[in-house]
Chains A and B, each alone.
Chain A
Amino acid sequence: QVQLVESGGGVVQPGRSLRLSCAASGFIFSNAPMNWVRQAPGKGLEWVAVISFDGSHQYYADSVKGRFIISRDNSKSTVHLHLNSLRAEDTAVYYCARKHFDDYFDLWGQGTLVTVSS
């Protein structure tokens, strides 16, 4: 079954760190650039980060640049998002999404909720 399954969300204090994971199955993960997209409660979608198929390139939204790090382990078909120096405004559901060759997102996970609160 072609799917993405996120994990690692939870409640974390401001300034602390968290690592999210996204496990892929049903497709050749090592061929697929992967993204993280987030959605604050009651708000719209915001692209966060992308990593190339081989992990050699990463790009970030300005809102997270210097604080978040995207990485992948193709041997485990997993992509991670390391969230550092967390702020209240990082509270959101975080989705991983597969980038199609033509650059749109054709597969999404179910999301994992990150709540930043003291």
Chain B
Amino acid sequence: DIQMTQSPSTLSASVGDTVTITCRASQSINIWLAWYQQKPGKSPKLLIYKASVLENGVPSRFSGSGSGTEFTLTISSLQPDDFATYYCQQYTRYWTFGQGTKVEMK
């Protein structure tokens, strides 16, 4: 099984900050990685697929990069609506999610 490890687990930030979340795969997954945002009591929302492609309607302050085993999600100029939990997901062999990164208000 492919394991996905996110860091940090929690991130404290302020509006306007740039934040970066890292996701590491236990083996190479090429670029077959997606990022999701989840708010309390809500279902996950697709942000990015193929490691760096922004889903339609997602603000351009979100960006993704990486390939192989190391990936990052960057949120530039954090907005109040961005405080949420973020998950990476590999989809090269079945599907595995990272454990999540909660972005909370400092």
Where the two chains meet, the residues of A that have a C-beta atom closer than 8 Å to any C-beta of B are: 35, 37, 44-47, 50, 59, 61, 95, 100, 102-106, 108-111
> Which of A44, A95, A103 is within 8 Å of B43, CB to CB?
A95
Interface of A: prevailing SS: strand
What residue in chain B is nearest A107 (Cβ atoms)?
Answer: B46
Among B14-22, B71-79, B87-95, which stretch is in contact with chain A? B87-95
Say yes or no for B67: interface residue by CB 8 A criterion.
no
Where the two chains meet, the residues of B that have a C-beta atom closer than 8 Å to any C-beta of A are: 32, 34, 36, 38, 42-46, 49-50, 55, 87, 89, 91, 94-100
**A108 contacts B44, CB within 8 Å?**
yes
**B46 contacts A105, CB within 8 Å?**
yes
> Which of A37, A44, A50 is within 8 Å of B99, CB to CB?
A44
> Which of A44, A104, A108 is within 8 Å of B100, CB to CB?
A44
> Which of A61, A105, A109 is within 8 Å of B34, CB to CB?
A105
